[in-house]
Amino acid sequence: MPTFPDSSAGRPAATYWPVLGFAALAGMRSAVAPTLLSHYLVRHPAPALAGSPLRLLQQPAVAVALELAATREFMHDKNPGAAPRTAPRGLGLRTLGSALAGATWCQATGQSPWRGALLGGLGAAAATFGWYRLRKAITEKTALPPTTVGLGEDVLLWAAGAVLLRYLPPPAPAR
């Protein structure tokens, strides 16, 4: 499996670039960041999560539950009456989902989960507004239906998620 150039364990770049990647994805769909990370951790358990409540993301049942939540969110997004992602509930869910993914990833790689939560949450909040403006601009400039643009966003989301998972460095060994 190829590795990201800065993927040596314990180096901040190896820890924080995935957190920013999860944040960018959470800006598109709130459930995706914890869902992708959970599926990764089921296949690559992190000994550093032992004893932490964050270890639950390594459980197959949690991964399936998150997948169901992500599926529901994908369907809800196509509803013309859905609130914009920048509404308080949508923004809050994206921020919390990414904060959870960031905290879990940082704990799994031997870094501060608090830093991961902060970076993930702030990154997702910024990404939420960026993706919202981009999607709105594409819809207005191309006259494509919002559902079509949303489907394109979904394709981009899953492609970017697959790339992110492919290049994740391995979790840190237990201390």
Distances 163 to 14, 25, 62, 86, 156 between C-alpha atoms, Å: 15, 12, 22, 26, 11
Kindly list the domain boundaries of the chain, sorted by start residue: 12-166
pTM: 0.87
139 token code pair: 């819809």
pLDDT, residue 4, reads: 38
* Segment 1-43, tens digit of pLDDT: 444 344 444 556 667 999 999 999 999 999 999 999 999 999 9
Report, as ranges of residue numbers, the positions in the chain whose pLDDT lies below 50: 1-9
If we measure between CA atoms, which residue out of 109, 139, 92 comes closest to residue 44? 109
Cβ neighbours around 84 below 10 Å, total: 11
SS3 2: coil
Question: Three-class SS string for 23-52?
Answer: HHHHCCCCCHHHHHHHHHHHHCCCHHHCCC
> What gap in Å lies between CA 108 and CA 117, rounded to an integer?
13
pLDDT, residue 5, reads: 40
Report whether 162 contacts 63 (CB < 8 A): no
pLDDT, residue 105, reads: 96
Cβ neighbours around 27 below 10 Å, total: 27
pLDDT, residue 13, reads: 63
